[in-house]
Chain A
Amino acid sequence: MSVINAVTCPICGCLCDDIEITVVENEVVKVKNGCAVCEAKYLGYKSEHRISHPLIRKNDKLVPVSMDEAVHKAAEILANANYPILYGWSSTNCEAQRIGVELAEEVGGVLDNTAVVCHGPSLMGTQEAGIPTSTLGQIRHRADLIIYWGCDPWSAHPRHLERYTSFTEGRFEDSEWKSYINKVKAAAGRKKLLSAQRVSPKKQEISVAESVVFNKPPETLQKEGRKLVVIDVRKSMTAEMADYFIQVEPNKDYELMQAMRAMVKDQDLDVDQVAGVPMEYLKEVVDTLINCKFGVVFFGMGLTQSAGKFRNIEVAISLVRDLNLRTKFVIMPMRGHFNVSGANIVFAWQSGYAFGIDFSLGYPRYNPGETTSMDVLLRGESDAALVIASDPAATFPKRAIQNLVKHPLIVIDPHMNPTAMLGDVVFPSAFVGIEVEGTAYRMDNVPLPLKKVVDPPKGVISDEELLKKILEEVRIIKAQETKNKTEGA
């Protein structure tokens, strides 16, 4: 038995690096410090859903083949394609991503990562407005106002509050954990009292206009200490923990932020409410924003996937920029996959662009809407695809996938996920961060090392090694084709 300390968890953009893994006979038996998702990954990685052999579709069935045969088939598909898509990259290490850029350049297709359906709009918003940001360490030690806008870390980044924001003991700011527990106890007490008195709350008809529940901001919002504000269209788990929850009408975040910008600049707005939020309450919230010492806005899919998309991000950044004229404020996207930030960084470092890169003209081009994989798929322009370390069949609208499966599809993944089930050539790969080491970038763009805690199953190699093999084979096929052409001429 061996206990491995300070393991970096390869799941979400938090990259918690304090996980303790107990290994017995090359198998993970215990996970300490991790969240529910972390445990599920470390204890479930060897499940029956694992792919054990390379597979090729023959007579509409995936049949096991040798590694060489699968590599040759995949290389043939890519070398002969006019406009292949190379998509995914966010759940693998930077080392594999680098080979991916090389492969994309060689085959001349579209190289894209999962940011396209995640924080692609945030990258575009950043390109429009710049980004005043910091590392999570700064936030942990200094932030006294934490805003989660359109994101639910309790569900998507379960340890974010505990490690980086409200419930962490910072050098200059205390954890709010105890006061939260007291609040929960008080609420439970009130509920008990009510049921003891057998007082049932009066039933009221809720009209659509009243549906946006809005309570007066609590007095604690203006007090010292760490404060948590959540802005969302529904009361999420994180919203329940917040000192103050603002329920915004769907698709109206842009309006709300523009109104807040005006108020930060002391401009009067002649309206009663904005996006379902009464003006008098909004004023109190804006006062809290201005009066904090170090504020931070974390934002998620609530902004990037609803109306406005990248314009929402641009205006959120502008709001933070305006707030910096009054106090200190930073903003950060809540990155999903553990190394989607790494994919953006590696792609930008190698090609100049973070996502949606088109190599078909022999040089990198980036034009969201044209060169983004989603649009290429919806227009039905691609003629082959390689999907690695992601699962578009479970994340893309069905029409995009209907077009994806019309052409040869190569899938590289440890698990038999829906995309692999639809694939024509399927490769097993080793779990990065469990069976393979490497580098990953946290959501604040800090690179962290991933550890190898167990050996991969026999015959299963890493994404990096596999991509190198495919790249080498593509080069051999292309060289042969060039030779045949010159001889023919």
Chain B
Amino acid sequence: MMQQKLHVTLLTGRTIEQGVGKEYGKSSPEYFEACSMVYMDAEDMKKIGVKNGAKVLVTTPNGSVVLKAVKHPRGSMSGLIYIPYGLWANSIVSNATTSIGMPSFKGTPAEVEAAPDQPILSMRELLKKEFGR
């Protein structure tokens, strides 16, 4: 049966595309493509009725962001989602530094739902929305 929302564990991290994009320049289309996406398990995508390349809304206690859902190409990662490091991931990651300076960039709870009608914000739009500049 199709679910409205899926409860998952959020991971953020490096991808080679993000690495290449950041070196081209963070305003480059390569960087936007590489960072405004989320890897999901194929079975999980079916559960919320999301096709490869469709838009999803990822929500945590710290905020929400619209991203392009991409099927994780290798193995199962049921219950996990993976967003490349970048502004899009940062708008929802946990602030909890557990008193050592390091926020919990990996392994925090999140919710995913289909968001076919919502736009993926560009870097400029995201900066304006979050920081007003």
State how many angstroms separate the Cβ of A396 from the closest Cβ of chain B. Answer: 6
Q: Please determine whether A155 and B19 come into contact, CB atoms closer than 8 angstroms.
A: yes
**Residues of B contacting A50 in the complex (Cβ-Cβ under 8 angstroms):** 25
State how many angstroms separate the Cβ of A105 from the closest Cβ of chain B. Answer: 21
**Residues of A contacting B21 in the complex (Cβ-Cβ under 8 angstroms):** 40
A194 within 8 A of B: no
A258 within 8 A of B: no
**A418 to B62 Cα, complex, angstroms:** 20
Q: Please determine whether B62 and A37 come into contact, CB atoms closer than 8 angstroms.
A: no
Residues 199-219 (chain A) with a chain B CB within 8 angstroms: 206, 208, 211-213
**Residues of A contacting B77 in the complex (Cβ-Cβ under 8 angstroms):** 211, 233-235
Q: Please determine whether A397 and B78 come into contact, CB atoms closer than 8 angstroms.
A: no
B103 within 8 A of A: yes
State how many angstroms separate the Cβ of A415 from the closest Cβ of chain B. Answer: 6
Q: Please determine whether B79 and A211 come into contact, CB atoms closer than 8 angstroms.
A: yes
**Residues of A contacting B52 in the complex (Cβ-Cβ under 8 angstroms):** none
Produce 1/0 per residue, A390-407, CB < 8 A to B.
010111111111100100
B26: which of A309, A356, A368, A415 is its contact (CB, 8 Å)?
Answer: A415
A399: which of B76, B95, B100 is its contact (CB, 8 Å)?
Answer: B95
B16 within 8 A of A: yes
- Range class of the B interface residue count: 35 or more
A8 within 8 A of B: no
Q: Please determine whether B131 and A401 come into contact, CB atoms closer than 8 angstroms.
A: yes
Q: Please determine whether A397 and B130 come into contact, CB atoms closer than 8 angstroms.
A: no
**Residues of B contacting A130 in the complex (Cβ-Cβ under 8 angstroms):** none
**A412 to B132 Cα, complex, angstroms:** 21
Q: Please determine whether A301 and B106 come into contact, CB atoms closer than 8 angstroms.
A: yes
**Residues of B contacting A355 in the complex (Cβ-Cβ under 8 angstroms):** 101
- With A305-B104, A368-B101, A402-B131 known as contacts, the answer to whether A235 contacts B79 (CB < 8 A) is no
Q: Please determine whether A211 and B76 come into contact, CB atoms closer than 8 angstroms.
A: yes
Q: Please determine whether B14 and A152 come into contact, CB atoms closer than 8 angstroms.
A: yes
Residues 56-105 (chain B) with a chain A CB within 8 angstroms: 62-63, 72, 74-80, 82, 85-87, 90-91, 93-95, 97-105
B119 within 8 A of A: no
Scoring B79, B85, B101, B131 by chain A CB atoms within 10 A of each residue's CB, the highest score goes to: B101
Q: Please determine whether A310 and B100 come into contact, CB atoms closer than 8 angstroms.
A: yes
| Interface 9-residue window, one of A113-121, A220-228, A449-457 | A113-121
State how many angstroms separate the Cβ of B20 from the closest Cβ of chain A. Answer: 5
Produce 1/0 per residue, A37-60, CB < 8 A to B.
100110010011110000000001
Q: Please determine whether B23 and A44 come into contact, CB atoms closer than 8 angstroms.
A: yes
Q: Which residues of B contact A (CB under 8 A)?
A: 9, 11-16, 19-28, 39, 41, 43, 62-63, 72, 74-80, 82, 85-87, 90-91, 93-95, 97-107, 123-124, 127, 130-133
Q: A44-B25, A368-B100, A415-B25 are in contact. List 14 more A-B contacts (CB 8 A).
A: A117-B105, A233-B77, A234-B80, A247-B75, A251-B9, A302-B106, A306-B104, A368-B99, A372-B101, A378-B97, A395-B85, A395-B90, A402-B131, A421-B127
Q: Which residues of A contact B (CB under 8 A)?
A: 11, 36-37, 40-41, 44, 47-50, 60, 116-117, 120-121, 124, 152, 154-156, 158, 206, 208, 211-213, 233-237, 239-240, 245, 247, 250-251, 301-302, 304-307, 309-310, 355-356, 368-369, 372-375, 378, 391, 393-402, 405, 415-418, 421-422
